[in-house]
Amino acid sequence: MSSRPNQLAIETRVIHAGQQPDPLTGAVVQPIYTASTFVQDGIGKNKGYMYSRSGNPTRATLEACLADLEGGRAAYAFPTGLSAAATILELMDAGAHIVAHHDVYGGIYRLLSKVRNRSAGLKVDFVNFADVAALRRTVTAETRLLWFETPSNPLLEIVDIAEVVKIARERGALTVCDNTFSSPCCQRPLEMGVDIVMHSATKFLNGHSDLLAGVVALSNSVPDDLAEQLGFLQNSVGAVLDPVSCATLLRSLKTLAVRMDRHVENAARIAEFLDRNRARLGIERLIFPGLPDHPGHEIARRQMKGFGSMISFAVSGGQARANQVAQNLDLFAYAVSLGGVESLIQHPASMTHKVVPLEQREKLGITDNLLRVSVGIENAADLIADLERALSR
Ligand SMILES: *Cc1c(COP(=O)(O)O)cnc(C)c1O
C-alpha cells in the first residue's frame, strides 16, 4: 500500500495493508496465483514476475501486509518459523559469533547449537538477556548477532528491548527479536530499534492451528544491501511460502487485532484467577508478565500493549500431577504449539523443550512439574471453570 498505511491504526491495517480490490475483476479478496511460471513479453521484459520461487503475486501481497503490520521496510514469507530463522542465520559468515537468550524456543536452540554450529561453524553463547550486566560481558566487538524472544518460551521472561538495542549498537551487532508470542498488536520491536523481527506465523498470526508459516520483517533503518541480501538468500535457499498458504494467512490476519484483544483479556482473567487461588489449587509457581510479582512486569508494561496470552505454572505433586492436570482438562487440548483460537496446554520438559539438556533445563527452571498454557478466545468463564475442575480434583 502506497502512502497511507502507517497513519492508520493496526485494527484497520490488518484488513487493508498491502491490499486493493483486484484491478482485473474488482474482487475484494486477493486472487490466489498458483502459477509456478509467468509468460515473458520478450528478452528482459516481464510483468514483474518470472518464476514463483523468486516472486509470486499472492506472496507479494502478504509480504507487503506483514511489512506494514510490523512497521518495517520489507517482509518475507517462509514455509515455517524455523526456515525463516535459518535464512536469517544465512546472513552470517561462517564462524560468526552469536549471542542468544538462554530461554528460547527449543527448535531455535536446536538450530543454533546442533546444526549451524557444525555446518556453519557459528559460535553461539547463550546468556540471560534479562541480566544486562551478563549480556554486556558476553557481547564483544566480534559478535555479529543478538537473538532473543520476549516474552520467552516457556518461562515468559521479559527482555528489555531498548537495552538490548543499545548494547548491540555499541558493539555493531544486528538484533533479531522473535516476536511470535506477542504479535505486532502487542509488541513492536522494529519501532524500538530492533533490526530484524521473526515470527512463527504458525502461531498467533495465523491463529487457527491449520497452517505452518514463518515471517522475517526488516526495520526501515537496515541498509539496502541487507534487505537485498535477505531476498537473495530466500530465493537462493528456496524457502518460500506457497500461494494457497499465503492467501490463508492473509485471511487470518484480518482478524488478528480482534483475536489478540480477546486472547489478552482472557489470559489476564485466567492469570488473576490462578493467582488468587494458588494455595488451594496447588500451584507452586505462576508465571505471567501481567502479574505485579513477575520480575519483568514493569518492563513488559512499558514495551507491550497487553501481556499476551501465554501462562506457565508449576504444580505441586511433580510430573505425575502435571500430567494428571493436563489430562483432566476438557477445553485445553494437550498439544504443543500456541496462539490458536483454541486453548492448549503442554508440558515443556517432555515436549517443546525436550531437546534442551536436562542440566540446562533445571538451571533455567523448566522443571518436570511445569505446564505452559496458550489461552484461546473461548469464553473466559468456561476456561476458568475447566481449570478449577482439573486443578481441584
Ligand atoms: C513455534 C515457534 C518457532 C518455530 O516455528 P515453526 O513455524 O514451528 O517452524 C519459533 N519461535 C517460537 C517462539 C515459536 O513458538
The residue contributing the CA closest to ligand 1 atom 12 is 105
> How confident is the model over 358-373, as a mean pLDDT?
94
186 and 218 both lie in a single domain: yes
Last residue of a domain, one of 202, 226, 253: 253
264-274 in b/e burial notation, b at 16+ Cβ within 10 A? bebbbebbebb
38 and 81 both lie in a single domain: yes
Q: What's the predicted TM-score (pTM) here? A: 0.96
What does DSSP say about strands 283-287 and 214-218: parallel, antiparallel, or unpaired? unpaired
The reported pLDDT for the residue numbered 6 is 61
Our mutation pick for probing the ligand 1 site, out of 105, 159, 215, counting the most ligand atoms within 8 A of Cβ, is 105
> How confident is the model over 238-265, as a mean pLDDT?
98
318 and 380 both lie in a single domain: yes
> How confident is the model over 227-239, as a mean pLDDT?
97
The reported pLDDT for the residue numbered 242 is 98
Q: Is the CB of 107 under 6 A from ligand 1?
A: yes
Q: How far apart are the first and last CA of the chain?
A: 54
Name residue, grid cell 507452586: 284
73 and 140 both lie in a single domain: yes
DSSP characters for 149-160? ESS-TTT-----
- Residue 122 sits in which domain range? 5-253
241 and 357 both lie in a single domain: no
Model confidence pLDDT, tens digit, residues 294-308: 999 999 999 999 999
21 and 149 both lie in a single domain: yes
10 Å Cβ neighbour count for 119? 10
How far is the centre of ligand 1, averaged over its atoms, from the C-alpha of 337 (Å)?
8
Please state, rounded to an integer, the average pLDDT across all residues of the chain.
96
Among 137, 182, 130, 139, CA closest to 158: 130
How far is the centre of ligand 1, averaged over its atoms, from the C-alpha of 338 (Å)?
9
> How confident is the model over 89-117, as a mean pLDDT?
96
How far is the centre of ligand 1, averaged over its atoms, from the C-alpha of 321 (Å)?
27
- Bridge partners (DSSP) listed for residue 78: 214
Q: Is the CB of 178 under 6 A from ligand 1?
A: yes
Last residue of a domain, one of 209, 232, 253: 253
18 and 140 both lie in a single domain: yes
C-alpha cell at 130: 534479562
Model confidence pLDDT, tens digit, residues 320-332: 999 999 999 999 9
246 and 260 both lie in a single domain: no
Q: Is the CB of 149 under 6 A from ligand 1?
A: yes
Count the alpha carbons within 13 Å of 214 in the hemisphere toward its beta carbon. 19
Assess whether pLDDT exceeds 80 at residue 393. no
C-alpha cell at 121: 561453524
Query: What is the percent of the chain with per-residue pLDDT over 90, rounded to a whole number?
Result: 95
Contact 343, 383 (CB under 8 A): yes
State the CATH number of the domain containing residue 349: 3.90.1150.10
Total number of domains in the chain: 2
The residue contributing the CA closest to ligand 1 atom 7 is 81
CA–CA gap between residue 283 and residue 274 (Å, rounded): 8
**Cα–Cα distance list, 232 to 79, 90, 214, 331 (Å):** 16, 10, 17, 44
Q: Is the CB of 336 under 6 A from ligand 1?
A: no
Last residue of a domain, one of 232, 253, 274: 253
Our mutation pick for probing the ligand 1 site, out of 101, 180, 309, 351, counting the most ligand atoms within 8 A of Cβ, is 180
3-state helix, strand, coil in the chain (%, to 5): 40, 15, 45
- The pLDDT confidence band at residue 2, using thresholds 50, 70 and 90, is very low
Q: What residues are annotated to the active site? A: 53, 105, 178, 203
DSSP letter assigned to residue 369:
T
Determine the angle formed by the axes of helices 256-276 and 380-392, rounding to 10 degrees: 40
242 and 340 both lie in a single domain: no
How far is the centre of ligand 1, averaged over its atoms, from the C-alpha of 42 (Å)?
42
- The pLDDT confidence band at residue 7, using thresholds 50, 70 and 90, is confident
Among 88, 129, 85, 121, CA closest to 105: 85
DSSP letter assigned to residue 18:
T
Q: How far is CA 145 from the centre of its chain?
A: 18
Model confidence pLDDT, tens digit, residues 20-61: 999 999 999 999 999 999 999 999 999 999 999 999 999 999
Strand positions, DSSP E, the chain? 74-78, 97-101, 123-127, 143-149, 174-178, 196-200, 214-218, 283-287, 310-315, 333-334, 344-346, 370-374
Q: Is the CB of 203 under 6 A from ligand 1?
A: yes
Query: What is the percent of the chain with per-residue pLDDT over 70, rounded to a whole number?
Result: 98
117 and 19 both lie in a single domain: yes
